A = this chain, B = another copy of it.
């Protein structure tokens, strides 16, 4: 165990849903001595101070990271390279540089080259979020009972990894460590493809004739509603995820296309057995999800558990806006 506070001063680069939630959580649990931040927009900087998310906020990341023993990048993945180049020279010796991005190989590719030898680079990804965005959306409980995945490159200092893991455990998360490539393949299936499909089906509905489109919203409780929630996620954040996990996403998408084409054919030709068999086998994986304690309760008479299942996609904080 590490004594608290685990870190003297943490810098949040990007103060959105994840950044603000992390600040509230580490303050509640006394995990960090001081939280400073960096946001592009004046409005976000002011909100961060008004809500007590940070003791100080800067527009320039290079200034923000000064004297920090933990720097956490919480902005869209597409902004990482520019931020890394800017902060690299200013990172404190022995400090830890981490992030909350939904893709990890691209993060190592974009950030790695700018990390000084005397800094520990430990990429991370908390699988938690809601469909809401911005610093006002944060809440201290966001990471409780959620997984936080760390993907330290080979040779990363073990103590640094354990120290960062202790921070995530301190806010209530379960921590797992894996290879970045493996992370990207698993998340392409569990998060990226589901989001791409959700965005697509909502888009398909949006193109319906107007009178039908209104009824799609009216009668969305039939299953469509769940997709609209996921499709409300931050557009810039998701654009960057797809651009930066192309190979893995295209692979699972191709598999998905082959599978849905087979079902399409079965419907066209009235092959009931094919449909029924296909629908039956999916139940096993649902059982696996329940056993992995990821399903939550969907019994309306258990609102508490039901709500636990709510926070959706593994979303790092939304863009600094």
Contact = CB atoms under 8 A, between A and B. Distances in A.
Interface of A: 78, 102, 127-128, 130-132, 139, 141-142, 146-147, 149, 176, 185-187, 189-191, 193-208, 212-233, 235-236, 238-240, 242-243, 246, 249-250, 252-253, 255-257, 259-260, 263-264, 267-268, 270, 272, 275-276, 278-286, 288-289, 291-292, 294-296, 298-304, 306-314
B200 A239 contact: no
Contacts of A146: 221
A43 B216 CA distance: 38
A190 B276 contact: no
Given A223-B230, A225-B309, A130 B200 contact: no
B279 A199 contact: yes
B202 A286 contact: yes
Contacts of A243: 267, 270, 272, 275
Secondary structure at the A interface, as helix, strand, loop or mixed, is helix
Copies in the assembly, this chain = 2
B204 A185 contact: no
Contacts of A221: 127-128, 146-147, 190, 294, 311-314
Contacts of A176: 218
Contacts of A198: 223
A225 B260 contact: no
15 contacts: A141-B300, A142-B300, A189-B208, A190-B224, A196-B260, A197-B260, A200-B260, A214-B288, A217-B288, A226-B230, A232-B286, A239-B279, A253-B260, A253-B264, A257-B260
A256 to B, nearest CB: 5
A48 to B, nearest CB: 20
A115 to B, nearest CB: 25
